[in-house]
Amino acid sequence: MVEKTITEKELTEWANKKYPDYANNTELMRMCWEKEQGVTYPLTQKGFIHRKVKEIKEGEFVELKVLIAKTHKMEYNGCCNCKKKIQTGQTVCSKCGGKDFMTYTWKYYSVGDNTGTLVVKALYPSNIEDFKCGKIYTIKGRVNKNDRNNKYELMISGDKNNVKPMLDTGLEKSCNAVLDYLDLFTLGVGEGKLREWVKEQGFKESFDDIIGNIKVCNKDGIITLMKED
């Protein structure tokens, strides 16, 4: 199944044809387009806008550079089949009729930049399990407003490319140096030899920290650059 998406330019063109008197209301037009297409969170790489937190608006698809400040956890009993929340005393899922239940744990995060703060949630929670407090990330998603507190939230889709950690300057330089070194060897480098080379360079970061932040393949102790798809 191909996910239906639309860029800001395409949305404007669609709105001008369909609802010319309301085309300047981007939020309203996106809701209308979603209703027509039968989608809820259409994410497209071309549609993301670079924003500061204070600049975001409801309904926008944005890319933010933020600091992860705090982790929150929410648990609920839900249906094993469709994940719908099960109320106390309920024995059958009201959505699918399932009778097997389990406890689901959802994590969400308080993040911010030098202009403001917001909460990050995910349609697929596994994508944000690796967020580390005190680290800076670039994140991409859709801006929603929480009706309960009237505050903005960012919803992330299932694409893992929408969550990327930012390397500090020192680590970035070390990673680039190792990549350049590996690029000299078509058939790769033995892990022991590469560890020794990294040690000789006097990098502040450990071998494991550097390797964990670059795209390489370690097969039978031979490390090679990972080919891009």
Band of residue 101 on the pLDDT scale cut at 50, 70, 90: very high
Separation CA 130–CA 164 (nearest Å): 10
Which helix or strand (DSSP H or E) is residue 210 part of? helix 207-211
Band of residue 222 on the pLDDT scale cut at 50, 70, 90: very high
Mean pLDDT of 63-74: 86
Averaged confidence pLDDT in the chain:
81
9-13, 123-127, 164-168: range with lowest mean pLDDT: 123-127
Q: Are strands 49-50 and 61-79 parallel, antiparallel or unpaired?
A: parallel
Separation CA 112–CA 92 (nearest Å): 41
Separation CA 45–CA 201 (nearest Å): 38
Question: Taking Cα atoms as reference points, which of 139, 161, 127 lies closest to residue 67?
Answer: 139
We find that the CATH architecture of domain 47-165 is Beta Barrel (2.40)
* 142 CB neighbour count, 10 Å cutoff: 22
Q: Are strands 117-122 and 151-156 parallel, antiparallel or unpaired?
A: parallel
Confidence at residue 160, expressed as pLDDT on a 0 to 100 scale = 65
